[in-house]
């Protein structure tokens, strides 16, 4: 990306404004993590509850000192294996991680993204950038710069266009603050990968109330269309019923039978957004298994289908 665009974005951040940032997962709505007023703007623009914590993004090679009070042995092992990349770690917060960012908790979520534009911006900025997904709270996450513009309009000062996101779903979140690793949000760094690197099983608890993280709500990642989980065998009958009631529906087969699970994840939010653009009233979803990346895709779709 041209340096002039990066410097303009840095100036916006230093002025307390919000910037749309590409990452390999989804686009983020970024603010200076140490500017409490700027962080408050994130919550206001997203219409996000103030107790719903944000993730602090750091440049590759940046020190965790100050952001966390302790980089645990597990954290050092996972950072070496998966950073930069789509892994967020929950650790005890340090003084640079303000309570406004952590949702009032004494833990902080930290990540080193792999997207080159995100890294270019983080290096030029020289600090931490707090960034949730760049969309209204609870709705479908953005995977292109245009999605950010469509969702947030003039509420975001500028959007750095890094092209479509390569992963397409939010980062894996693993809690390392309680003496044992707990997977709180599945992502493209799978439970199996985490367990293999750490040399022991990682517990899965995506609705753990002890530590609040992004993406834990029962209803999340939801398009305007209703999302309904179905078995493959019932699709034909559901389609007939929809025709009888003049209901516009589409089928999203996320099982991995006809398409790789990586492609399904990469295109998931684009497909849900397209359903809304096409005036679809109901999306019938066939879920993948809970192995590997399938666990993350399954998690997003079940929350998209949650009660609203």
Say which CATH number the domain at 113 has. 3.90.870.10
DSSP strand E in the chain: where? 19-21, 28-32, 55-57, 87-92, 107-111, 129-130, 158-159, 172-175, 182-185, 203-204, 226-229, 249-253, 282-286
Number of structural domains found in the chain = 2
Residues 246 and 113 in one domain: no
Task: Encode pLDDT of 120-164 as tens digits.
Answer: 999 999 999 999 999 998 899 999 999 999 999 999 999 999 999
Domain shared by 236 and 192, yes or no: no
Quick check: is 28 in a domain? yes
Burial class (CB in 10 A: 0-12, 13-18, 19+), 75: buried
| Tens of pLDDT, residues 13-46 | 999 999 999 999 999 999 999 999 999 999 999 9
Q: What is the pTM of this model?
A: 0.95
Give the chain's mean pLDDT. Answer: 94
The answer to whether position 210 is within a domain reads no
Residues 238 and 192 in one domain: no
Residue 307 pLDDT greater than 90, yes or no: no
Residue 109 lies in a domain: yes
Question: Does residue 29 sit within a domain?
Answer: yes
In the prediction, which pLDDT does 206 show? 63
pLDDT at 220: 77
Same domain, 106 and 249: no
Sorting pLDDT into bands at 50, 70 and 90, what band is 179?
Answer: confident
* Amino acid 37: pLDDT: 98
The answer on 256 and 167 residing in a single domain is no
pLDDT, position 96 = 98
> Using 50, 70 and 90 to split pLDDT, how confident is the model at 260?
very high
Same domain, 235 and 132: no
Q: Do 189 and 252 fall within a single domain? A: no
Domain co-membership, 28 together with 165: yes
Domain membership flag for residue 291 = yes
Of the three residues 143, 173, 204, the one that is the final residue of a domain is 204
Among the three residues 170, 204, 238, which one is the final residue of a domain in this structure?
A: 204
pLDDT in tens, 191-212: 999 999 999 999 998 666 567 6
Q: Are residues 118 and 9 in the same domain?
A: yes
Q: What is the distance in angstroms between the CA of the first residue and the CA of the last residue of the chain?
A: 40
pLDDT at 81: 98
Residue 215, pLDDT score: 65
pLDDT score for 275: 97
Over residues 246-257, the pLDDT tens digits come to 999 999 999 999
Instruction: Look up the CATH number of the domain holding residue 268.
Output: 3.40.50
Closest CA to 38 of 88, 94, 92, 98: 98
Per-residue pLDDT tens over the stretch 265-305: 999 999 999 999 999 999 999 999 999 999 999 999 999 99
My answer on whether 190 and 104 are in the same domain is yes
CB burial of residue 243 (10 Å; 0-12, 13-18, 19+): exposed
Q: Are residues 150 and 66 in the same domain?
A: yes
**What domain range includes position 146?**
3-204
Q: 185 and 26 in contact (C-beta within 8 Å)?
A: no
Residues 290, 146 share a domain: no
Domain assignment present for 170 = yes
Q: pLDDT class for 216, splitting at 50, 70, 90?
A: low
Residue 275 lies in a domain: yes
Q: What is the C-alpha to C-alpha distance for residues 51 and 14, in angstroms, rounded to an integer? A: 24
């Amino acid at each position: 990306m041209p340096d002039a665009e990066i410097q303009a974005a840095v100036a916006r951040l230093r002025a307390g404004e919000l910037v749309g940032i590409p990452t390999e997962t989804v686009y983020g709505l970024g603010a200076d993590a140490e500017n409490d007023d700027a962080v408050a703007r994130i919550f206001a623009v997203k219409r996000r509850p103030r107790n719903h914590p944000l993730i602090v993004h750091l440049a590759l090679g940046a020190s965790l000192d100050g952001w966390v009070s302790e980089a645990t042995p597990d954290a050092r092992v996972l950072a070496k294996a998966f950073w930069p990349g789509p892994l967020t770690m929950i650790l005890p917060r340090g003084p640079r991680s303000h309570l406004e960012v952590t949702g009032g908790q004494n833990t902080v979520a930290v990540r080193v993204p792999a997207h080159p534009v995100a890294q270019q911006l983080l290096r030029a900025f020289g600090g931490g950038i707090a960034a949730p997904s760049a969309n209204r709270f609870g709705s479908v996450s953005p995977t292109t710069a245009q999605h950010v513009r469509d969702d947030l309009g003039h509420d975001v000062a500028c959007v750095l266009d890094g092209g479509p996101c390569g992963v397409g779903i939010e980062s894996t979140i693993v809690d390392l603050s309680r003496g044992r690793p707990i997977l709180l949000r599945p992502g493209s760094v799978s439970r199996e990968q985490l367990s293999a690197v750490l040399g022991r099983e990682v517990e899965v608890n995506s609705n753990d109330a002890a530590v609040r993280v992004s993406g834990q709500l029962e209803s999340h990642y939801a398009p305007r269309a209703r999302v309904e989980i179905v078995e493959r065998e019932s699709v034909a009958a559901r389609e007939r019923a929809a025709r009888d009631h003049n209901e516009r529906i589409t089928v999203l087969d996320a099982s991995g039978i006809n398409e790789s699970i990586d492609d399904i994840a990469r295109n998931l939010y684009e497909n849900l957004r397209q359903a809304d653009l096409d005036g679809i009233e109901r999306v019938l979803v066939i879920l993948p298994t809970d192995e590997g990346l399938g666990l993350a895709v399954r998690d997003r779709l079940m929350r998209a289908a949650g009660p609203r």
